[in-house]
């Protein structure tokens, strides 16, 4: 193998890498995909809910065949205190097609299926090997070194995820800063399909996405999530690394606390733990995207390029990963036609990304990370909501209090008019 030269080597068998490799193989290029996990998906973590528009563009009708869990038909956002929870649930009632739908997904199944598709298309898969470095000759990336074995290609696509050490080695990316990443900690709990239907008031094949702020992270920046799968529930915490140590509870313990919350425990009771995982999530948004997504003989896509937005009520990375993998392949196909894999030719990728929904959407929400840095959202807001709801619904024979006055009083106890105005301005700027 060391003598062989490929058209392209893709590092990482997540959604970005699989998409890039799949598209290149479809264009009859010789592609090698190297994945450090035992199989594609074995190391990949998501919440997770996949917005299907970019997969649908890639493989029309894929949802009929792919191992997706449930079509998300209900959205629930919650503000939680130690004992209380204000839940807002929304169901559009519209029957979305797969260009607008989203599904709960388990990456260990989905990526495995996708890898089989890529292999059928002609990708040579090498799982179980970690790429240690890119090989450079005359300033150009010419291949990779994996465990001492050197492999060569016209172009290397780095789809090695959020902590892309390879793009750091090439100087395309800086080391991650604690405020730019969160730790996600997740458990998959098996439950009967019918039990899930009853607990979430959904039909077979339909599901609920729940995103929670407040008590799950004890007021730290982050939140809790819960997604209904076919016969399991994905439940987890995402907590920003810069906040670690702010409270004396570890992230795994936050997950236990979330699972035991009075409004959550009845949803998962009787379930059997199937899977436990932890992973980093890019949280910096648009401002975290590397200045250059290419260099001579190399491109970066997916989480490696920080293509993720976390809006609190929705997390998106998978649709960006798929689209960026597709665009990387498009640029490589053009480079192959031109017989030139220099940075100048590969810069087409940057242009394609900048013209795509990846940039438009991430740019739109570029100030969201600033909003989510405000601790008030994760402690004061849930507490005030809890106090108001409790006052609204409690009947105890005492003299009633004016609710607006009570609300103003509760807000004034926690913040000043200036701070409140400031928060509103940051929120308006983020939206």
Ligand X SMILES: Cc1cc2nc3c(=O)[nH]c(=O)nc-3n(C[C@H](O)[C@H](O)[C@H](O)COP(=O)(O)OP(=O)(O)OC[C@H]3O[C@@H](n4cnc5c(N)ncnc54)[C@H](O)[C@@H]3O)c2cc1C
Using CB under 6 A as the criterion, which residues of the chain lie in contact with ligand X when the complex forms? 11-17, 34-37, 43-50, 130-131, 159-161, 184, 186, 236, 238, 279, 281, 302-303, 308, 315-319, 321
Output the smallest distance, CB 360 to ligand X, in A: 16
CB of 32 or CB of 80, closer to ligand X:
32
**Shortest distance, CB of residue 302 to ligand X, whole angstroms?**
2
CA-CA distance, 68 to 102, in Å (whole number)? 10
What is the number of helices (H) and of strands (E) in the chain?
A: 14, 19
Q: Which is nearer to ligand X, 35 or 383 (CB)?
A: 35
Length of the chain: 431
Whether the CB-CB separation of 297 and 139 falls below 8 Å is answered with: no
Residue 403 Cβ vs ligand X, minimum distance, rounded to whole Å: 36
Q: How far is the CB of 91 from ligand X (least distance, A)?
A: 18
State which residue, 48 or 290, has the beta carbon closest to ligand X: 48
Closest CA to 19 of 389, 431, 328, 350: 328
b/e burial code for range 181-195 (CB count within 10 A of at least 16 → b): bbbbbbbbbebeeee
Measured on CA atoms in the order 275, 280, 283, 288, is the torsion positive or negative?
Answer: negative
Render 234-292 in DSSP notation, one character per residue: EEEEEEEGGGTTSSS--HHHHHHHHHTSTTTHHHHTT-EEEEEEEEEEE-SGGGGS-S-
Signed CA dihedral, 66, 67, 72, 78: sign only: negative
Burial status of residue 327 (CB atoms within 10 A of its CB: 0-12, 13-18, 19 or more): buried
Instruction: Give the nearer residue to ligand X in terms of CB position, either 43 or 326.
Output: 43
Nearest distance, CB of residue 42 and ligand X, angstroms: 8
Nearer to ligand X (CB atom), residue 39 or residue 406: 39
Shortest Cβ distance from residue 264 to ligand X (Å)? Answer: 17
Report whether 369 contacts 284 (CB < 8 A).
Answer: yes
Transcribe 365-379 into DSSP letters: TTTHHHHHT-GGGTT
Minimum CB distance to ligand X, residue 14 (Å): 2
Of the pair 157, 196, the CB lying nearest ligand X is at 157
| Closer of 81 and 324 to ligand X (Cβ) | 324
């Amino acid at each position: 193998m060391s003598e062989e030269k490929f058209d392209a080597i893709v590092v990482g068998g997540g959604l970005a890498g699989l998409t890039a490799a799949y598209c290149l193989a479809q264009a009859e290029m010789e592609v090698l995909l190297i994945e450090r996990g035992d199989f594609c998906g074995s190391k990949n973590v998501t919440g997770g809910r996949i917005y299907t528009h970019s997969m649908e563009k890639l493989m029309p009708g894929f949802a009929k065949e792919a191992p997706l869990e449930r079509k998300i038909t209900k959205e629930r956002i919650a503000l939680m205190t130690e004992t209380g929870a204000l839940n807002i649930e929304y169901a559009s009632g519209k029957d979305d097609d797969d260009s607008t739908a989203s599904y709960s997904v388990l990456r260990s199944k989905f990526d495995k299926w996708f890898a089989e598709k890529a292999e059928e298309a002609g990708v040579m898969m090498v799982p179980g090997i970690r790429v240690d470095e890119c090989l450079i000759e005359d300033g150009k990336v010419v291949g990779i070194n994996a465990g001492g074995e050197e492999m060569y290609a016209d172009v290397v696509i780095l789809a090695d995820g959020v902590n892309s050490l390879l793009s750091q080695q090439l100087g395309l990316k800086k080391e991650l800063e604690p405020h730019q990443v969160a730790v996600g900690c997740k458990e998959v709990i098996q439950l009967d399909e019918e039990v899930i239907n009853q607990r979430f008031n959904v039909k077979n094949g339909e599901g609920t996405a729940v995103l929670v702020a407040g008590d799950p992270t004890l007021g730290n920046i982050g939140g809790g999530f819960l997604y209904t799968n076919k016969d399991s529930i994905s439940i987890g915490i995402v907590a920003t690394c810069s906040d670690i140590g702010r409270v004396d509870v570890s992230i795994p313990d936050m997950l236990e606390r979330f699972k035991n919350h009075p409004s959550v425990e009845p949803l998962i009771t009787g379930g059997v733990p199937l899977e436990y995982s932890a992973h980093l999530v890019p949280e910096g948004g648009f401002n975290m995207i590397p200045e250059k997504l290419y260099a001579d003989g190399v491109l970066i896509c997916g989480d490696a390029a920080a293509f993720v937005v976390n809006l609190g009520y929705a997390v998106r990375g998978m649709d960006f990963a798929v689209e960026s993998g597709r665009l990387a392949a498009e640029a490589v196909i053009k480079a192959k036609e031109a017989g030139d894999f220099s940075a100048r030719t590969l810069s087409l990728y940057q242009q394609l990304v900048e013209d795509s929904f990846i940039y438009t959407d991430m740019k739109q929400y570029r100030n969201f990370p600033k909003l989510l840095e405000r601790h008030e959202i994760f402690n004061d807001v849930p507490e005030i909501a809890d106090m108001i709801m409790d006052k609204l619904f409690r009947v105890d024979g005492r003299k009633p209090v004016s609710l607006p006055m009570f609300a103003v009083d509760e807000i004034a106890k926690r913040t000043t008019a200036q701070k409140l105005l400031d928060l509103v301005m940051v929120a308006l700027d983020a939206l």
